[in-house]
């Protein structure tokens, strides 16, 4: 592999490693905030008159979102693979077009 490919691969691996750690870190930040907000909202005057939110299954939302994202990424991948299969402009240089010569040849 080229040096550029090695650097890009290493950077990608580091990014994926950081992303793997994100759920635990974000949860430790979000949970205390959610508890404080929930407690503060419950203490508001008239809070008991507010409608109770309908529970939503977060897992279904995650599955829906990632299902869509997977389909979109697959479409992009197929598109780029088709583009990469096209002849490259560097593989066979085209002959220069001389417009003046082409018009006098008619």
Taking the model in full, what pTM does it have? Answer: 0.42
Give the model confidence (pLDDT) of 52-88 as tens digits. Answer: 777 888 899 999 999 999 999 999 999 999 999 988 7
SS3 39: helix
Q: Per the structure block, which two tokens stand in for 6?
A: 């090695």
- Rounded mean pLDDT of the chain? 84
* Rounded Cα–Cα distance for residues 57 and 66 (Å): 15
The H-assigned helical ranges of 1-106 are 3-42, 58-84, 99-104
């Amino acid at each position: 592999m080229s040096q550029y490919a090695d650097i890009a691969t290493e950077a990608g691996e580091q990014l994926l490693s950081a992303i793997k750690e994100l759920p635990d870190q974000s949860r430790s930040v979000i949970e205390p905030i959610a508890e404080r907000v929930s407690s503060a909202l419950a203490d508001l005057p008239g809070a008991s008159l507010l409608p109770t939110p309908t529970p939503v299954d977060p897992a279904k939302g995650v599955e829906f979102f990632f299902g869509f994202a997977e389909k979109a990424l697959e479409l992009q991948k197929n598109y780029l693979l088709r583009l990469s299969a096209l002849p490259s402009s560097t593989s066979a240089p085209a002959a220069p077009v001389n417009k003046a010569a082409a018009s006098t040849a008619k």
